[in-house]
């Protein structure tokens, strides 16, 4: 006799994870229920518990799913093609600013949302969120290091600290936007981040811009 497990579609886990990302970004970890996710996907609780032992395991899987999907999105973004590292870093910040031109739930970071709720009650989720935030920051370190070598070689700050600061500033902008109930409230704060990074990596007087260099 065939089992119920054999009838579960192979993509049901991904459907549950996608639904979890949408729900948790909209209203948080604690307010998201298994019943809600099953209703949103048309799957039974049996299907849910086939893939996840419980809600915490779902939360951990959602963090991994988020890291994978957003990592691929950033890796393929147009700013990655810019040769000059300073221009590439500033274009990354511009890219983050452009992502705020959406509805409020769609601009929030899953990791920042989860960690604010779970840092004291679910240490495994907290640690996974920290690893995700730090992991994304680490992808910026080579660009920042190259920009520092060219534009601020004597500066005492480290590429690692600036990479993590960008994430702290972005998460703060998202919190302000949520408090205001307006996604656009994040835009001027991200603009301040951009201006700060420009100040850390100043163009020397008479230095051609990266765009002019590219035309030579």
The pLDDT, as a whole number, for residue 3 is 35
Using the predicted structure, report yes or no on whether residue 178 has a pLDDT greater than 50: yes
The model's pLDDT over 67-100, given as tens digits with 9 standing for 90+, comes to: 999 999 999 999 999 999 999 999 999 999 999 9
The pLDDT, as a whole number, for residue 204 is 75
Using the predicted structure, report yes or no on whether residue 24 has a pLDDT greater than 60: yes
In this structure, of 11-15, 94-98, 122-126, 206-210, the range with the lowest mean pLDDT score is: 206-210
Q: What is the DSSP string of 128-196?
A: HHHHHHHHHHHHHHHHHHHHHHHH-TT--S-HHHHHHHHHHHHHHHHHHHHHHT-GGGGHHHHHHHHHH
The pLDDT mean for the chain works out to: 91
Using the predicted structure, report yes or no on whether residue 215 has a pLDDT greater than 70: no
- CA–CA separation, 41 vs 17, rounded Å? 10
- CA–CA separation, 153 vs 137, rounded Å? 21
The pLDDT, as a whole number, for residue 8 is 44
The model's pLDDT over 93-144, given as tens digits with 9 standing for 90+, comes to: 999 999 999 998 889 899 999 999 999 999 999 999 999 999 999 999 999 9
For 207, residues 6+ apart whose C-beta sits below 8 A from its C-beta are none
- CA–CA separation, 214 vs 216, rounded Å? 6
The domains of the chain, with CATH numbers, are 7-202 (1.10.357.10)
What letter does residue 202 receive in the DSSP assignment? P
């Amino acid at each position: 006799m065939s089992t119920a497990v054999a009838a579960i579609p192979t993509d049901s886990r991904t459907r549950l994870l996608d639904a979890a990302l949408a729900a948790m970004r909209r209203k948080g970890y604690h307010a998201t229920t298994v019943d809600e996710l099953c209703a949103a996907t048309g799957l039974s609780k049996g299907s849910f518990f086939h893939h996840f032992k419980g809600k915490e395991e779902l939360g951990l899987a959602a963090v991994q799913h988020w890291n994978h999907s957003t990592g691929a999105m950033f890796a393929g973004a147009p700013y990655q093609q810019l040769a000059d590292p300073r221009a590439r870093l500033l274009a990354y910040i511009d890219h983050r600013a452009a992502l705020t031109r959406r509805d409020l739930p769609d601009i929030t970071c899953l990791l920042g949302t989860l960690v604010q709720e779970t840092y004291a009650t679910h240490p495994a989720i907290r640690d996974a969120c920290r690893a995700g935030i730090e992991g994304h920051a680490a992808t910026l370190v080579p660009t920042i290091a190259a920009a520092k070598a060219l534009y601020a070689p004597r500066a005492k700050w480290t590429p690692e600290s600036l990479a993590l600061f960008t994430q702290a500033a972005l998460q703060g902008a998202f919190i302000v936007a949520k408090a205001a109930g307006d996604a656009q409230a994040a835009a001027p704060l991200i603009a301040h981040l951009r201006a700060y990074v420009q100040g850390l990596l100043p163009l020397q007087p008479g230095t051609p811009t990266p765009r002019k260099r590219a035309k030579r």
